[in-house]
């Protein structure tokens, strides 16, 4: 093990908290500091801004991250917190889809048990926002003026707030009609129970927000709009499928799509759910993504990503049933199309929608909710720390606007060099990993970085066994 070091982790959500725990376990003599402005660690948006009705998108067994006690054992000791129907519908607790907030409780409890803010070594936390790095890079400045020096800085900021979508009449985004971030604490403070709402996007964020609104007593009409009108598919267990992708796969995005479709057809002929095909592909996704040239990546993002996302990032069966019940009742409509324009009409905004395939629809909305998902275009983001990293060329956004350029988690600077002290985890690293928003991938990435920083030992290797029966994150 290397000599004692000081590590600053910027971000105390799931990624930052789990990395801090695992690095502390491997290097107990190091000083490891988690910097987070929110008062609760280990939750982030995914496990902190959720309601009791929001369920995990995967079974309990797929949320294990190598901590003690395990998530399953922790839940068994708190069985009274789990609605009986959720466990009765599964063969056992490990196969149940439990409320998402319970996983947040679990991670928060584990990190709090390890914190020692009075010691000069071990795991500790500071409450504040990091606004810039020190001039020599080796340390951070908090928004309250405190400076903390460090040997290593790790960016673990999680998913960033969504950006307003492109389109006409951008004036709307500066008015009270627009809700820019549905996960903000006051997002729905002004929504009337009976007002009609337009949701921009039809992915997992929309699913969560629709169910959240209904649970809160909203009764008005809901219209969810996206370019193709595609919604997430449901998770299904059972069966297995062998790995069929290799890291040296050299082809276009369209060839990759043809290969996946052929595998799905072969699986269906043997009675294997298509979900197992996507799970079997997951270990090779980072390598395949890196093998694609910029043109193929751009082609994937524009034309193929929507269909990939709805099959990769899936719903728990009970969530899907509740969502489809609202559609069947007629209180929720999902539409394919684009915004043609907005026009204020008293306490409503009149939205003109160009339907996919022709024709228009006018929808009077009380509010327009941005459910397009997390932001990732670091070329445009003005968050102080990100802007400073960009301006000092300590980090560079990727050409496609999905994150920061990294190599084995080391942030790449403006000269194309991988940093020896600045690292990134989670969604920030999408240009290198692509699939890096679900717990299993983030957990494996964390283990690789811990191994890399703490000694010369081999980093964890992704295998098909790590990805069986998985859905996506939010």
In this predicted model, what pLDDT tens digit does every residue of 274-317 receive, in sequence order? 999 988 888 788 888 888 888 888 888 888 888 888 998 889 88
Query: Which residues, 6+ apart, have CB-to-CB distance to 116 below 8 Å?
Result: 122, 123, 124
In degrees, rounded to 5, the angle at the alpha carbon of residue 9 between the alpha carbons of residues 402 and 26 is 115
SS3 352: strand
For residues 268 and 50, the model is more confident at: 268
For residues 113 and 374, the model is more confident at: 113
| Alpha carbon distances (Å) from 32 to 115, 149, 320, 460 | 10, 11, 41, 22
Per-residue model confidence (pLDDT) at position 470? 42
- Tokens at residue 71, please? 């998530």
Per-residue model confidence (pLDDT) at position 285? 82
What gap in Å lies between CA 178 and CA 168, rounded to an integer? 14
Per-residue model confidence (pLDDT) at position 472? 35
- According to DSSP, the β-strands at 178-179 and 367-370 are parallel
What gap in Å lies between CA 335 and CA 333, rounded to an integer? 6
Reported confidence tier of residue 87, pLDDT bands at 50, 70, 90: low
CATH topology assigned to domain 6-161+375-467:
FAD/NAD(P)-binding domain (3.50.50)
Task: Give me the residue label for tokens 């397009």.
Answer: 372
Tell me the per-residue pLDDT of 399-428, one tens digit each, with 9 for 90 and over. Answer: 888 889 999 899 999 999 999 999 999 999
Tell me the per-residue pLDDT of 158-187, one tens digit each, with 9 for 90 and over. Answer: 888 888 888 899 999 999 999 999 998 889
Tell me the per-residue pLDDT of 207-240, one tens digit each, with 9 for 90 and over. Answer: 999 999 998 899 999 999 999 999 999 988 788 8
Per-residue model confidence (pLDDT) at position 456? 62
Query: Which residues, 6+ apart, have CB-to-CB distance to 77 below 8 Å?
Result: 69
What gap in Å lies between CA 285 and CA 281, rounded to an integer? 7
Per-residue model confidence (pLDDT) at position 465? 52
When pLDDT is averaged across residues 96-103 and rounded to a whole number, the result is 90
What pTM, to 2 d.p., does this model score?
0.89
| Residue 320 Cα to chain centre, angstroms | 19
- Residue 100's nearest CA partner among 68, 162, 58 is 58
Task: Give me the residue label for tokens 């405190």.
Answer: 146
Per-residue model confidence (pLDDT) at position 88? 54
Per-residue model confidence (pLDDT) at position 396? 93
Reported confidence tier of residue 462, pLDDT bands at 50, 70, 90: low
Residue 201: pLDDT above 90? yes
Tell me the per-residue pLDDT of 387-406, one tens digit each, with 9 for 90 and over. Answer: 899 999 999 999 888 889 99
Residue 413 is classified by DSSP as -
* 372 close to 162: Cβ distance less than 8 angstroms: yes
Per-residue model confidence (pLDDT) at position 471? 38
Per-residue model confidence (pLDDT) at position 45? 81
Residue 461: pLDDT above 60? no
What average pLDDT is seen over the chain? 88
Helices vs strands, H then E, count in the chain:
14, 17
Percentage of residues in the chain having pLDDT higher than 90:
58
- Tokens at residue 52, please? 């009791």
- Residue 434's nearest CA partner among 307, 266, 309 is 309
Residue 103: pLDDT above 90? yes
| Alpha carbon distances (Å) from 131 to 98, 134, 270, 429, 457 | 36, 10, 55, 20, 34
Q: Which CATH class is domain 170-232+315-370?
A: alpha beta
CB atoms within 10 A of CB 315: 25
What gap in Å lies between CA 409 and CA 433, rounded to an integer? 10
When pLDDT is averaged across residues 336-352 and rounded to a whole number, the result is 96
| Alpha carbon distances (Å) from 33 to 5, 137, 341, 388, 407 | 11, 16, 48, 21, 23
Residues of the chain with CATH 3.50.50.60: 6-161+375-467, 170-232+315-370
Q: What are phi and psi of 31, to 5 degrees?
A: -95, 115
Per-residue model confidence (pLDDT) at position 316? 87
What gap in Å lies between CA 365 and CA 350, rounded to an integer? 6
Pick from 88-102, 234-248, 351-365: least confident:
88-102
Query: Which residues, 6+ apart, have CB-to-CB distance to 256 below 8 Å?
Result: 249, 288, 292, 300
Reported confidence tier of residue 468, pLDDT bands at 50, 70, 90: very low
When pLDDT is averaged across residues 74-99 and rounded to a whole number, the result is 76
Query: Which residues, 6+ apart, have CB-to-CB distance to 21 below 8 Å?
Result: 67, 110, 111, 114, 123
Per-residue model confidence (pLDDT) at position 247? 59
Per-residue model confidence (pLDDT) at position 394? 94
SS3 139: strand
* 22 close to 450: Cβ distance less than 8 angstroms: yes
Largest Cα–Cα separation, the chain: 67
Tell me the per-residue pLDDT of 357-375, one tens digit each, with 9 for 90 and over. Answer: 899 999 999 999 999 988 7
Residue 19: pLDDT above 90? yes
Per-residue model confidence (pLDDT) at position 80? 81
| Residue 181 Cα to chain centre, angstroms | 14
When pLDDT is averaged across residues 439-449 and rounded to a whole number, the result is 90
Query: Which residues, 6+ apart, have CB-to-CB distance to 228 below 8 Å?
Result: 306, 336, 356
SS3 147: strand
What gap in Å lies between CA 95 and CA 89, rounded to an integer? 9
| Bond prior to 450 in cis (omega within 30° of 0) | no
Reported confidence tier of residue 3, pLDDT bands at 50, 70, 90: confident
Per-residue model confidence (pLDDT) at position 463? 53
């Amino acid at each position: 093990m290397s000599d004692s070091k000081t590590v600053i982790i910027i971000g105390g959500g799931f990624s930052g908290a789990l990395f801090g725990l695992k690095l502390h376990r491997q290097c107990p003599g190091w000083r490891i500091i988690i910097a987070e402005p929110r008062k609760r660690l280990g939750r982030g948006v995914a496990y902190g801004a959720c309601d009791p009705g929001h369920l995990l998108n995967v079974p309990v067994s797929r949320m294990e991250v190598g901590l003690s006690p395990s998530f399953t054992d922790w839940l068994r000791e708190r069985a009274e917190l789990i609605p009986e129907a959720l466990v009765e519908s599964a063969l056992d607790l490990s196969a149940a889809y439990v409320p998402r907030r319970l996983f947040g409780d679990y991670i928060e409890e584990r990190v709090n048990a390890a914190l020692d803010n009075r010691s000069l070594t071990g795991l500790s936390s500071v409450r504040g926002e990091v606004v810039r790095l020190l001039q020599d890079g080796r340390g951070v400045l908090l928004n309250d003026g405190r400076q903390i020096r460090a040997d290593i800085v790790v960016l673990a900021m999680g998913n960033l707030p969504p950006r307003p979508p492109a389109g006409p009449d951008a004036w709307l985004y500066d008015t009270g009609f627009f809700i820019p971030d549905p996960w903000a604490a006051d997002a729905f403070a002004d929504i009337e129970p009976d007002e009609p709402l337009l949701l921009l996007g039809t992915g997992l964020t929309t699913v969560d927000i629709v169910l959240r609104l209904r649970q809160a007593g909203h009764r008005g009409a809901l219209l969810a709009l996206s370019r193709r009108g595609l919604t997430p598919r449901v998770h299904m267990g059972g069966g297995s499928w062998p790995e069929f992708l290799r890291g040296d796969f050299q082809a276009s995005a369209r060839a990759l799509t043809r290969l996946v479709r052929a595998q799905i057809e072969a699986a269906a002929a043997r009675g294997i759910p298509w979900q197992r095909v996507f799970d079997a592909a997951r270990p090779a996704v980072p390598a395949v993504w890196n093998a694609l040239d910029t043109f193929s990546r751009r082609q994937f993002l524009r034309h193929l990503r929507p269909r990939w996302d709805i099959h990769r990032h899936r719903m728990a069966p009970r969530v899907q049933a509740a969502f489809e019940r609202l559609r069947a009742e007629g209180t929720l409509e999902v539409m394919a199309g684009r915004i043609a324009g907005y026009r204020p009409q008293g306490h409503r905004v009149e939205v003109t929608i160009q339907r996919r395939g022709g024709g228009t629809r006018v929808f009077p909305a009380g509010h327009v909710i941005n459910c397009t998902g997390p932001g990732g275009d670091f070329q445009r983001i003005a968050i102080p720390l990100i802007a400073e990293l960009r301006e000092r060329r300590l980090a560079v956004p990727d050409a496609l606007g999905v994150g920061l350029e990294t190599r084995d988690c080391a942030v790449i600077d403006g000269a194309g060099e991988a940093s020896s002290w600045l690292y990134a985890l989670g969604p920030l690293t999408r240009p290198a990993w692509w699939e890096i928003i679900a717990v299993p991938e983030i957990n494996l990435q964390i283990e690789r970085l811990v191994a890399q920083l703490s000694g010369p030992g081999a980093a964890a290797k992704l295998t098909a066994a790590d990805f069986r029966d998985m859905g996506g994150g939010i």
